[in-house]
Amino acid sequence: MSQKPASLREDYLKLLQDSTSLEQMGLVHDSSRIQPTQPLVGKDMKRALTQLRLESMLVATMDKDKPLELSSDTQQRLIDAAGNQQVVLDEYEKELLVAIERLELRFPVPYLVGDFPLAYPFNAVTVLRNAGALVLVNRGLTDMIWFAAKLFSAGVSVQVTDGTDEGDNVDPMPFTKEQIAEWLAQVVLSYLRNKDAQAAGHLLPQFGRVRSMVVACLTNECTKFVIAHEFAHIIKGHLAENFRVDSGDDDVIFRVLEQVLKSFEQTSGVVRYTSRKTQEIAGKWRQEIDADLLGLRILFAGQASRGSNKRFIIDGNHPLFEFTAAAPFFLFALYHLITEVKKASTGHRQAIFLTEHPPAELRHEFVKMTYGSWGQPELPHIANEVMKWFSGVQQSVVERTLKQTT
Ligand SMILES: [Zn+2]
């Protein structure tokens, strides 16, 4: 692992404390609104863990799951970290670095992955500083992913096999579609209001062991994809001021994106969130698609067995494979849902929002095509379930948020 320059760390810590510099960087428009959350202290964490175990014990009977078991080691680690998301991000980073080495990719500049507390308007962003690149991962986003993963997982039945005995069969939780849609609406609204999905309160109970594992796998893979996407921007050199997208005629993806943009611009219902010209936006979109596809390669390369030195690996037998494959689809569907709610709550229900990021549906299509080109034309089961779930719940969520905002 590359050594992190001390000045980059100092820069990160300064950003955490001084939100006016975020304003200067254009990441935040009104820094006076920002209220970083207070981290949990050890004794709060102990209390939270006790509550978590009790609740899990009560709930686990509802779906034939077993209660959560946390070894005393794990508990101590959680208490020591006291809700510190940085510990988790460091773990993800380590995993991704193994994959990056396998793919023989290089970071052109030093970088640092830093947790960002709630209530910052961005999701995840990489900013170029004098000492290197800062990858800032907003807690607002990771919390949102976790909530959505929990709501999705509540309704699925899970079978665990370990190859030796019969394994466990866990039923769906006995919640109605209406309950799930209502909870999801509250979470999305809280997130849109202040990037703080937690403000929706304690909605869902803690799950048992198996279902908690599903939530954890999905959340981990999604967050890893977010970081891998940012790493891809750094590796590809997108951050450099003078970086230009090669928009030659042979760049098919660029041409497609440009065509989509042009068709958007001819639509009457366009709401523009950028002052850039079409050509420039297409260049930005091209970078995003590029970062998605390289991010995906990095995620999958991390799953190969240690001895493998193949340049690209997709291993359908890996236990995490299903979750890894579903992660981009989960994220894009979530972004899509958030955008639809935002459109509805700002009175632009039929509009197209034009930003420097391609619409989630487009990112979805490119990832799907890439799977096809890897010889995986059929999406794995969880990816399909994710898409079915989001499209099934979307209408109801939008209608509920409309009722709450008008
Ligand atoms: Zn990006």
Average pLDDT over the chain, rounded to an integer: 85
pLDDT band at residue 30, thresholds of 50, 70 and 90? low
pTM (2 d.p.)? 0.91
197 in a structural domain: no
For ligand 1, the distance from its centroid to the CA atom of residue 245, given in whole angstroms, is: 14
The pLDDT assigned to 96 comes to 96
Burial class of residue 31, CB neighbours in 10 A (0-12, 13-18, 19+):
middle
For ligand 1, the distance from its centroid to the CA atom of residue 71, given in whole angstroms, is: 38
For ligand 1, the distance from its centroid to the CA atom of residue 190, given in whole angstroms, is: 24
Average pLDDT on 306-311 reads 52
Residue bearing the bigger pLDDT, 75 or 32: 75
226 in a structural domain: no
Buried b (16+ CB within 10 A) or exposed e, 232-254: bbbbbebbeeeeebeeeeeeebb
For ligand 1, the distance from its centroid to the CA atom of residue 285, given in whole angstroms, is: 9
343 in a structural domain: yes
pLDDT band at residue 268, thresholds of 50, 70 and 90? confident
Residue bearing the bigger pLDDT, 29 or 125: 125
pLDDT over 80 at 35, yes or no = no
pLDDT band at residue 1, thresholds of 50, 70 and 90? very low
pLDDT band at residue 360, thresholds of 50, 70 and 90? very high
Number of Cβ atoms within 10 Å of the Cβ of 17: 8
Pairing between β-strand 124-129 and β-strand 132-138 as defined by DSSP bridges = antiparallel
For ligand 1, the distance from its centroid to the CA atom of residue 46, given in whole angstroms, is: 37
For ligand 1, the distance from its centroid to the CA atom of residue 102, given in whole angstroms, is: 22
214-231 confidence digits (pLDDT tens): 999 999 999 999 999 999
262 in a structural domain: yes
Q: Which residues are CB-contacts of 369 (< 8 A; sequence separation ≥ 6)?
A: none
pLDDT band at residue 318, thresholds of 50, 70 and 90? confident
Q: Is the dihedral of CA 331, 334, 336, 339 positive or negative?
A: negative
pLDDT band at residue 238, thresholds of 50, 70 and 90? very high
Residue bearing the bigger pLDDT, 33 or 238: 238
For ligand 1, the distance from its centroid to the CA atom of residue 230, given in whole angstroms, is: 6
332-356 confidence digits (pLDDT tens): 999 999 999 999 888 888 888 888 8
For ligand 1, the distance from its centroid to the CA atom of residue 100, given in whole angstroms, is: 18
pLDDT band at residue 42, thresholds of 50, 70 and 90? low
Average pLDDT on 180-195 reads 91
For ligand 1, the distance from its centroid to the CA atom of residue 197, given in whole angstroms, is: 22
12 in a structural domain: no
296 in a structural domain: yes
For ligand 1, the distance from its centroid to the CA atom of residue 228, given in whole angstroms, is: 10
291 in a structural domain: yes
Residue bearing the bigger pLDDT, 117 or 56: 56
For ligand 1, the distance from its centroid to the CA atom of residue 56, given in whole angstroms, is: 37
Q: Domains in the chain: how many in total?
A: 1
For ligand 1, the distance from its centroid to the CA atom of residue 229, given in whole angstroms, is: 6
pLDDT over 90 at 164, yes or no = no
Lowest mean pLDDT among 94-103, 264-273, 396-405: 264-273
* Separation CA 197–CA 186 (nearest Å): 8
Burial class of residue 256, CB neighbours in 10 A (0-12, 13-18, 19+):
middle
- Helix segments in 1-159, DSSP class H: 6-17, 19-24, 42-59, 72-81, 85-102, 139-154
For ligand 1, the distance from its centroid to the CA atom of residue 73, given in whole angstroms, is: 37
For ligand 1, the distance from its centroid to the CA atom of residue 62, given in whole angstroms, is: 41
What domain range is 281 assigned to?
252-398
The pLDDT assigned to 37 comes to 55
Pairing between β-strand 124-129 and β-strand 158-160 as defined by DSSP bridges = unpaired
153 in a structural domain: no
Choose among 292, 329, 406, 381: nearest CA to 148.
Answer: 329
84-99 confidence digits (pLDDT tens): 788 889 999 999 999 9
The pLDDT assigned to 236 comes to 94
6-17 confidence digits (pLDDT tens): 999 998 888 887
Q: Quick one: DSSP state of residue 198?
A: G
Ligand 1 is a single-atom ion; what residues have CB below 5 A from it? 288, 291
Lowest mean pLDDT among 111-115, 289-293, 348-352: 348-352
